[in-house]
Amino acid sequence: MTVSALNFKPYDRGAMRGFFDLRYYGLTVRGCRLMSGNNGLWIALPQKEAMQDGERKYFDQMYLTAPEMEHVRRMVLADLQAQGHLDHGHRDGGGQGGNHQHHNRPAKQGGGHRTPEGEDVSQYYTQPGDDGIPF
């Protein structure tokens, strides 16, 4: 799998649902968080705390474009679902703050991997060992 969640640790407090390491095309990003908000489940990448202009601020340690972040979010949720970490009480609504409507679609028949809302995420799944790395 080109994108997956490793070492998931549940942590159900406030908006946080857990911690995991993100496997991203051969790179492992430690300290990612699974979050829940009004629009459903989303992932937060690690941040670094620093002082700027006398204020405490947080800066992302990794940046992804919005389309790539959505792709990563869907693949991570599919992987966590397959690992049994997501129950049907969690709503996959399309990420943080976006106006996404895909969670309202009826579940398609025949898909093997679905979010708790029934969204078919089979297209984001690969066979074990198919990591997409060309070497």
22-28: which pairs have CB atoms within 8 A and are 24 or more residues apart? 22/72, 22/76, 24/72, 25/131, 25/132, 25/133, 26/131, 26/133
Number of domains within the chain: 1
Does a structural domain hold residue 86?
Answer: yes
Structural domain including 62 reads 3-124
Does a structural domain hold residue 49?
Answer: yes
**What pTM does this model have?**
0.64
The runs of H, that is alpha helices, within the chain are: 66-82
Q: What is the pLDDT of residues 37-72, one digit of tens each?
A: 998 999 999 999 999 999 999 998 988 999 999 999
For 8, the token pair is 């998931």
Does a structural domain hold residue 9?
Answer: yes
Does a structural domain hold residue 135?
Answer: no
Does a structural domain hold residue 40?
Answer: yes
Q: What is the pLDDT of residues 99-121, one digit of tens each?
A: 333 333 333 334 455 555 555 65
d(CA 9, CA 42): 16
The residue whose two tokens read 């489940």 is: 41
